[in-house]
Structure 1
Amino acid sequence: MEKRTTRSSSRTRLSELVSTLREDILTGKRPVGDYLPSEKTFATDYNLSNQSVRKGLDILVAEGLIEKIPRVGTKVVGASEGAFVTVKLGFHSSVTNEADIHRLLATFQKENPHIRVQAVPTSSTKYSYISEYLSSGILDVVMMNFTNFQECVEAGDTGMLEPLERNKEIYAFLSDGFAAEGKQLVQPFIFSPLILCYNREHFREADLPEPDSSWQWKDLIDYSSKLAIPGERLGFHCDLYSSNRWPLLLLQTGKKFERYEDGRLKLEGTAMMDALRYCGEMRHSIPSLLEGVTTGESELLLAKGKASIIMTSYFYLNYLLGERLSFDIAPVPHLGTPITMLLNTGLAVNRQSQVKDAAVKLVEFLTGYQAQLFVRQHTYTLPARKAAAEWVGDEKRYRPSRFSLFRETIPGFRYFTDLAIGASELADINQELKMYWAGLETEEALCAQIEKRPVVETM
């Protein structure tokens, strides 16, 4: 055990000693019957006086967790009925459906009666909230998507995250996305590539072949025109304004953002500006595309027969659970080379957590085979653990016949960072592109706004 520094107050160090011992006993790390190290050892490890250590141990004696045996030592006697530690988990509210998180937590607490989980909904789009929750100690475990993690790295906040052991049973490309400075800082939990989802009956009625991996964007435009019925349904629908959607088009061009010598982004006269212009033109060529899409709206339109094809993710397929709809999925269209955008969500442990062992235990459970298989069997979401994601057996509900197509598309998975931009730059570009593609901003103004953006130092 490392010796504690003297910068924190003796009261803080004593509280840490008591909290650590309490958690170790309640979680079974120090089993019943074991003897604790001597008071002198604790005093040295925590830079406390023997008298302070004695007072701390007396607290645990009063709680019935330990027993002092004269001339023998201090023995762990276990937790009294009702004793527990509380782990505060910050989770994206959408995961309520995407991974049935509350049922998973109920199972965890049943198997670990001395650990209670307080689930706190957080915003998946605002890293500032996550940072505040971690720094203030409000959360012990927090859910992060890939964008959140990149913002954490760019802000120099990785020191707030407890390094975790890399799990070899989880897809390596997911773990790589949450590593920095040679450390695994977030454990992958669930993931999804962008995909197409379509109404099979609409294709049969129109006597059209269903989408396949050969589809390019011109095919989508052609078929969506044939499937659309004015005043009745759209041929294709998606939210191309979302930062989890439009980067796909740029990724498929194979272009990257260029920079000036001082590090500022360069747009004017670059191949990326050509790509942005092309994406805008193609976007306007897709018939009947609605704007101002809300979460789950594309899936609702598909379920009601008001759209024939949508661009979505395995996460959002869960909006179709229980719907009486014959639907299937296909890879997203491409520009010649099959490429799709990868969405990755994981779990991080607050390095300053006072119940760190219990927090790690929760993460290990949620990324373990039991919980991951539950996600695979009860939702349409892809679990991060390979054996669970690729499980084959008796399905508990309707599942698209091409559900496992993600396995064949893995070589084409890309993050937005493959465009050579950071998370904060993505957010700024996203705002400007909305106006540019809506015709409210000229190309010259777009370039000027992006290029004047100050360089942000990243870790």
Structure 2
Amino acid sequence: MMGRPSRSVLLERMNRMLDELRKDIASGRLQTGQYIPSEVALGKQFGISKESVRQALDKLVEEGLIRKIRRVGNQVVGKAAGTAERAITDTDLREGAGDGTTDGVRKEMFSIPRAASVTRNVLKLAYYPVLEHEAILIPLIQAFEQRYSGVKIELLPTPLPVDYAEHGMADVFTVSIWDHMKLLEKDPSLRIMSEPPTGLSCYPKLNDIFQSADGRLSAAPFIFSPVLLCYNQDHLDACGIEEPNENWTWYTLQKHARTLSRELGVQGFASHVQSLNRWPVFLLQNGFRFNEQLPDRIADSPDLWESLRISRDLIHGQDKIRPLLSENDADIEHWFREGKVSMIMTTYFGMNSLLDSPISYAAAPLPSLRNNDTLLLVTGLSCSSSSPVPELSRALIEFLCGEEAQRLIRRHTLSLPACPAAYTVQDGLMGNRPSQDLTPEQILEQGQFYSRLNIKPRIIEDMRDQLKGFWSSIEDEIEAGERLEQLLKSHS
């Protein structure tokens, strides 16, 4: 195990990082308006901690070379006249730098002007990083640049593409239905989103979710997936368990999960239940609607507690000594890929990690409670209303959502293309794919959006946080119910 570098070595590495960044800015390799590499990436490159990177970058802020933008990154702003370059000294290390931000930067946050150096042939695309894998985004962008000679796409991978658009830093941005709901709650007119190109071929239901309060289309559907059940066929065959079908309930799944756990020594079923893309499914399947239940005590609603009880039992109700502890949905998919789990609650987005795996697997609709509804997840593309290149922005969306690009997504990923014609592609499908699959018609019939629950997204987020004790079995339904009741009162 490597020890921490000595103080002199740390100083040398920090100053070397600063020198290279200054040279990149002076040479134009990093231009005004662009972002330097992330603090994590710089730390790995120069062998220093993220805290040391932050402390060193304060010097570039003092020199007027960069500005720190909360939750986004460090943006190049040019060379400030009369500001001398200064190396990191031993005194700086003794004084420390806290979290690497000054009070001025904290106050500034996003309140900065759009970079004046943006040219008309540069298009800024802010997108979720997972789309590089889930929608082969980089090759698609390269294909667009080849078709539109002279156009350069500036890629801005970020978990917060809507924030980029809100502050004029993106011409085109990706938006999930969850982020769209949160934006709609804040601004029902969706002023930051201009209408996407018209005439795009798309499953009509997917357009329903991307609309402003007055019915204006705000984004073009790009890819989608239901929450579904994925299972290891070899595991089920070894235990003589029939493959999941429309007659399975969650109680059927729990029974078979115990058999798999007992006979194979694996986790029979796993799900990152507390995910915002998982636990609301149980509410949908029980027909629970928040606006119908709010007048009564939340703890007295049998529909709610049956839903939550099932989600808790799926964590604790197996024969394994202890449940799997997951930080996110990707952990569950990783364990499934390694053969440690037999059945998982996942999406086609997550199943993309299985394309290069050797396991034999299949997909099926989720087991049911009172109905067989599932959650439908969609990622869309939107034009920023503040973009100086609106026609070029629409051209990019038209290309990415057009049949040619959508067919490539179909061939190279498991993500479902929003264009119906693309799904008909059966030749040249790449990778290890599920032997049994769902049809778009089946998915769209059973798939529902969060909006069906009639509750604001921030309340769902707060409920998730309050339910952690219940899911961990350290609180009973009475205690958890009282917490939820207080929470909902605070939001009323």
Shift of 1:285: 5.1
The answer as to whether partners of 2:271 and 2:329 remain within 8 angstroms in 1 is: no
Q: Pick from 142, 147, 155: which aligns with 2:178?
A: 147
Matched residues in 2 for 1:396 and 1:321: separation?
8
Matched residues in 1 for 2:190 and 2:410: separation?
30
- The match for 2:15 is none
1:242 has 2:254 as partner: no
Q: Pick from 342, 345, 350: which aligns with 1:316?
A: 350
**SS at 1:158's partner residue?**
coil
- The match for 2:254 is 221
The answer as to whether partners of 1:161 and 1:348 remain within 8 angstroms in 2 is: yes
Matched residues in 2 for 1:96 and 1:307: separation?
26
1:301 has 2:301 as partner: no
Matched residues in 1 for 2:193 and 2:296: separation?
30
Taking only aligned residues, the RMSD between alpha carbons, in angstroms, comes to 2.3
After superposition, residues 4-153 of structure 1 pair within 5 angstroms as 85-123=121-159, 129-153=160-184
1:364 has 2:398 as partner: yes
* Residue type at the aligned position of 1:210: E
- The match for 1:23 is none
1:175 has 2:207 as partner: yes
Matched residues in 2 for 1:255 and 1:227: separation?
31
Q: Relative contact order: is structure 1 or structure 2 higher (C-alpha 8 Å, sep ≥ 6)?
A: 1
Q: Deviation per CA, 1:339-374, whole angstroms, max 9, x where unpaired?
A: 111011101110010111111111111000011000
- The match for 1:256 is 289
Choose 204-213 or 165-174, whichever is displaced more.
Answer: 165-174
Matched residues in 1 for 2:346 and 2:399: separation?
28
**Residues 140, 266 of structure 1: alpha-carbon distance in 2 compared, 3 angstrom cutoff:** farther
Shift of 1:407: 2.8
**Residues 132, 304 of structure 1: alpha-carbon distance in 2 compared, 3 angstrom cutoff:** closer
Matched residues in 2 for 1:272 and 1:206: separation?
34
Q: Pick from 443, 453, 456: which aligns with 2:490?
A: 453
* Residue type at the aligned position of 2:298: L
1:434 has 2:468 as partner: yes
The answer as to whether partners of 1:84 and 1:116 remain within 8 angstroms in 2 is: no
- The match for 1:419 is 453
Q: Deviation per CA, 1:113-140, whole angstroms, max 9, x where unpaired?
A: 12111111111xxxxx445422321111
Matched residues in 2 for 1:281 and 1:326: separation?
28
Matched residues in 2 for 1:208 and 1:454: separation?
46
The answer as to whether partners of 1:258 and 1:266 remain within 8 angstroms in 2 is: no
1:393 has 2:424 as partner: no
Percent identity of equivalent pairs: 27
Shift of 1:256: 0.7
Matched residues in 1 for 2:251 and 2:204: separation?
34
* Residue type at the aligned position of 1:109: E
Matched residues in 2 for 1:316 and 1:131: separation?
22
Matched residues in 2 for 1:241 and 1:454: separation?
21
* Residue type at the aligned position of 2:190: T
The answer as to whether partners of 1:258 and 1:270 remain within 8 angstroms in 2 is: no
Query: Unaligned regions of 5+ residues in structure 1, if any?
Result: 1-82, 124-128
- The match for 2:480 is 443
* Residue type at the aligned position of 1:174: L
Shift of 1:265: 9.1
Q: Deviation per CA, 1:52-87, whole angstroms, max 9, x where unpaired?
A: xxxxxxxxxxxxxxxxxxxxxxxxxxxxxxx96111
**SS at 1:179's partner residue?**
coil
Query: Unaligned regions of 5+ residues in structure 2, if any?
Result: 1-118
Shift of 1:206: 1.4
* Residue type at the aligned position of 1:420: N
- How many aligned positions are there? 366
Shift of 1:295: 4.2
Shift of 1:233: 1.6
Choose 129-138 or 302-311, whichever is displaced more.
Answer: 129-138
Shift of 1:164: 2.3
TM-score between both structures, scaled by the size of structure 2? 0.70
1:185 has 2:227 as partner: no
Kindly name which structure, 1 or 2, has the bigger radius of gyration based on alpha carbons. Answer: 1
- The match for 1:198 is 231
* Residue type at the aligned position of 2:194: E
The answer as to whether partners of 1:250 and 1:279 remain within 8 angstroms in 2 is: no
**Residues 107, 264 of structure 1: alpha-carbon distance in 2 compared, 3 angstrom cutoff:** farther
Shift of 1:230: 7.7
The answer as to whether partners of 1:96 and 1:102 remain within 8 angstroms in 2 is: yes
Matched residues in 2 for 1:398 and 1:243: separation?
28
- The match for 1:349 is 383
Matched residues in 2 for 1:163 and 1:374: separation?
25
**SS at 2:435's partner residue?**
coil
Matched residues in 2 for 1:451 and 1:121: separation?
35
**SS at 2:345's partner residue?**
strand
**Residues 439, 452 of structure 1: alpha-carbon distance in 2 compared, 3 angstrom cutoff:** farther
Matched residues in 2 for 1:223 and 1:150: separation?
37
The answer as to whether partners of 1:255 and 1:271 remain within 8 angstroms in 2 is: no
Matched residues in 2 for 1:347 and 1:329: separation?
27
After superposition, residues 319-338 of structure 1 pair within 5 angstroms as 319-338=353-372
**Residues 444, 331 of structure 1: alpha-carbon distance in 2 compared, 3 angstrom cutoff:** closer
**SS at 1:293's partner residue?**
coil
Q: Pick from 193, 199, 210: which aligns with 2:243?
A: 210
Q: Deviation per CA, 1:382-415, whole angstroms, max 9, x where unpaired?
A: 0111111233334333322323434323211111
* Residue type at the aligned position of 2:290: F
Q: Deviation per CA, 1:11-46, whole angstroms, max 9, x where unpaired?
A: xxxxxxxxxxxxxxxxxxxxxxxxxxxxxxxxxxxx
